[in-house]
Structures are given as C-alpha cells and as structure tokens.
Amino acid sequence: MDRRTFLKTSAFITGLSLISNQRIFSKGQEPASLVLVKDGSPEQMADKVFELLGGVSRFISKGDYIMVKPNMSWDRRPEYAATTNPELVSKVVTLCLDAGAKKVLIVDNTCNDARRSYKNCQIQDMAGKAGADVRFVRDSHFIETDIPGGTSMKKWLIHKEVFKVDKLINMPILKHHSLSQVTIGFKNMMGLTGGNRGRIHRPFPEKIVDINRVIIPQLTIVDAIKILRRNGPSGGNLKDVEDLNTVIAGTDRALVDAWSAKVFGKDPKSLEYLQLAYAAGMGEIDTEKYKPVTFIYKS
C-alpha cells in the first residue's frame, strides 16, 4: 500500500511536470505557495524552491533577522537521514544573507548531547561557514509562553528568539515516526521548546498543534532528499534510508506537511495532527485540491 501510493504520487508528479515546464500557480494568479523540486543537487533545489516561490525577496527584506530551524536533534551523520541535509541548510542561509538578511540564527534543542549532535550532523560547520549564527540552546533561552486557544496545554517553554525574529524558516527532514507515522514540519517545532518534552507526546497530536499555535513559520522547506523509512526519528541504519531527492516547500505549513506525507506514502487525512491543524485554521490539507508547482531536474 505504501509503495503503491508512493508510485502513484511519483507518477503524478512526473506527469504534471511533463505537461508543463512553466510555472503553475496553485491558487490562480498569486505566486506559488507550494512547490516541489526533484533530482537536483541540494544547492540547486534550494535555489529553485525560492525561484518558484517568487524569489527570496518575497520572504526576506533587507535587515531582517531570520531564524532557520533545521533538525539537528540526533548525534548522527547526515547520510543516516536523521537530521536535515547540511548543504540544503547552508544554501538557504546563503540565500537569506545574500538577500540582505542581517542575521541568520540556527538553533535546535537536541535529543542527544548538543555538542555531539551539532557537530555530527555537520550543520554547525557548514551553515556556520555560510555565515549563520549556529547557537547552542540553554535553559535560560526559554520563556514560559501562553498558548492562546491551546486545547491540551495553556503554557509551555518556548525559545525566546522565536518572538524576536522577523521570519522563521522551518527546515524539517521527512522521517518515519512511530507515533505520528511521519515527522515533518509541525513536529520539527518541538526543537524550539524546552522543559520535559517527553510529555508533549501525550496526547501527541493536540500538543503538536498547540505548539504550532505560537511558533509560526513563514516558510517551510522539507528536506526529502534522503528520507528515513523505518525506525525514525533517530534511525541509525542505512538500510532504512531511501533516496527521494526531493524538496517540498511552501508558505502553508499544513499543506506542506500534507504533501510531504503524501510523498512519503501516507494519506494525509490519516494524520490526526493534520486534521486538528486544519480544524484550527492553520492551513489546507487537501492534497487533491491543492497541488504543488513542480520542477524536475533531468539527470
């Protein structure tokens, strides 16, 4: 079933791109709000994502303070697909800085030891070289934040800088997760929370949505270059890694997660948190109705 859905999706995407080589706007006249790029190098795909979305300047203004939130949570090398592709992150950092961003901050509250995780996932070195401020997260960086409309929690510890930055770019990696089936953008925001995070797992869908009520990314770029099929989110087995060489991005965070889930081979409607997010008005989840603008590099 998984494979079939996956094949269908791939066939659909390929078909779509064959029909048209020009931009397709998903919502009529506005610039694309959802894009899917495939088979380029990470740098190329990052470039193309922004190009299709209407240029970096659509998101970044001169002097902006940007936060990029990749997944750096595990002490794993990039090929294990437990953490976001470092080349993709670095390229996004470069694009932001070239567009005039004053500062690009990268943080993640890791599951393994922060120093090991930052180092081993290579984002610290590569994004740091690209000019980002890669910072460790400390207890003192969190503030207790009210969650208006929260159904399962009214308050939680959230990273301070979330509320200081001009734009937040969420850069999750597409992975298997035994509780939510897949972990994508919504779950990635857990890296900006503190406290006893294990508790967020119960009831998981409600809490994930509640966190996303206060942490609102303006852009979500999903790394599906290498995905973790099984044993997520920490992985550790190369047999569980699959090359999709795809990047999905968009401004509607729910829709991006829905499409990423579909690319993974899951029915977005079966994801409880997406249903809740839709009900809370966080975005669309109907992948039949809203399709991405697609670009495929020919090898």
114 in contact with another protein (CB under 8 A)? yes
Evaluate whether 114 touches 136 at the Cβ level (below 8 Å).
Answer: yes
- Taking CB under 8 A as the binding criterion, the range among 18-26, 135-143, 220-228, 246-254 that sits at the site for another protein is 135-143
- Gyration radius of the chain over CA positions: 18
| Among the listed residues 23, 58, 102, 119, the single contact to another protein using CB under 8 A | 119
Q: What is the DSSP letter of 246?
A: E
Give the residue, chosen from 27, 116, 154, 155, that forms a contact with another protein under the rule CB under 8 A: 116
**Cβ–Cβ < 8 Å for 67, 168:** yes
Residue 166 in 3-state DSSP?
coil
- CB-CB contact of 245 with 38 (8 Å): yes
Is there a contact between 150 and 213 (Cβ–Cβ < 8 Å)? yes
Site residues (CB under 8 A) for another protein, limited to 269-288: none
Q: What is the dihedral of CA 26, 218, 222, 33, to 10 degrees?
A: 10
The C-alpha atoms of residue 111 and residue 97 are separated, in whole angstroms, by 29
Q: Which CB atom, from 129 or from 199, has the smaller least distance to another protein?
A: 199
What is the pairing mode between strands 241-250 and 293-296? unpaired
- 163 touches another protein (CB under 8 A): no
- Rounded to the nearest whole angstrom, what is the least distance from the CB of residue 62 to another protein in the complex? 20
The answer to whether the CB of 113 falls within 8 A of the CB of 75 is yes
Shortest gap between Cβ of 217 and another protein (angstroms)?
Answer: 22
Among positions 71, 145, 212, 234, the unique one binding another protein when judged by CB under 8 A: 234
Q: Taking contact as CB under 8 A, which single stretch among the options 56-64, 84-92, 216-224, 234-242 is the one that binds another protein? A: 234-242
34 vs 182 by CB, closer to another protein: 182
Tell me which of 6, 44, 204, 218 binds another protein, using CB under 8 A.
Answer: 204
Binding site for another protein (CB under 8 A): 75, 111-116, 119-120, 135-141, 177-179, 196-199, 201-204, 231-234, 236-237
